[in-house]
Amino acid sequence: MLVTHDQLEAVAMAERVAVMNLGVLQQVGTFDEIYNHPANEFVAGFIGEPPMNFLTCEPFSEGDEVKLRAVDGSFAVKLPPELRSKVLNAGSNQISLGIRPIDVIARHSASNNGVGEIEASVFTFEALGEEGQLAANVGQNSLLVVTPSEESFAPREKIWLQLKTNRMHLFNAQSGLAL
């Protein structure tokens, strides 16, 4: 047994990882299981670097589609079928949408399809050699985005963020439990 706060050390040394918060066991599994299927918001935010982004949303239906709208009304995103059923079965009026910074694509202009695309404004951008890190404002929310090394963004620049909808994680906003 190895006790550490260093995620890289845990991944390198352990076959199974246990995540604890204030002495309470949150989840046990392989690193891939915990990273790709976190049991709750704490695990999702603790595992991975940089940490996961969380946006509080309200589910709503539009025809046959189920969407999540930010509580501040700044964006709405269509859910893929596998997440649509989770939201409908949850019966919650607030959902926390989790998305990792590597699962958000920043663009200088809107794409043609607009699926999972959110208008944003650059707050900061830092080129880090092999990658860049962008902090973007979306309404009252801030999202962290990992960008390719060849990209560059200017403060206050209007951009579009495309969420990889197949990589979104949904949590009950009240309990924090994964849907």
Q: What is the pLDDT of residue 5?
A: 87
Is residue 161 within 8 Å of residue 111, measured between CB atoms? no
Alpha-carbon gap, residue 35 to 32, rounded angstroms? 5
**Strand pairing class (65-70; 17-21):** unpaired
Residue 176 confidence class, pLDDT cut points 50, 70, 90:
very high
Question: Which run of H or of E encompasses 10?
Answer: helix 7-13
pLDDT, position 116: 64
Instruction: Give this prediction's pTM.
Output: 0.91
Residue-wise pLDDT for 89-131, tens only, equals 888 899 999 999 999 999 999 886 656 689 999 999 999 999 9
Lowest-pLDDT choice from 64-68, 113-117, 159-163: 113-117
- Spatial strand order of the sheet with 53-62 comes to 76-78, 65-70, 53-62, 95-99, 169-172
Strand partners, 121: 137, 158
**Nearest-CA neighbor of 168 among 78, 74, 64, 108?**
78
Domains of the chain: 7-46 (no CATH), 53-172 (2.40.50.140)
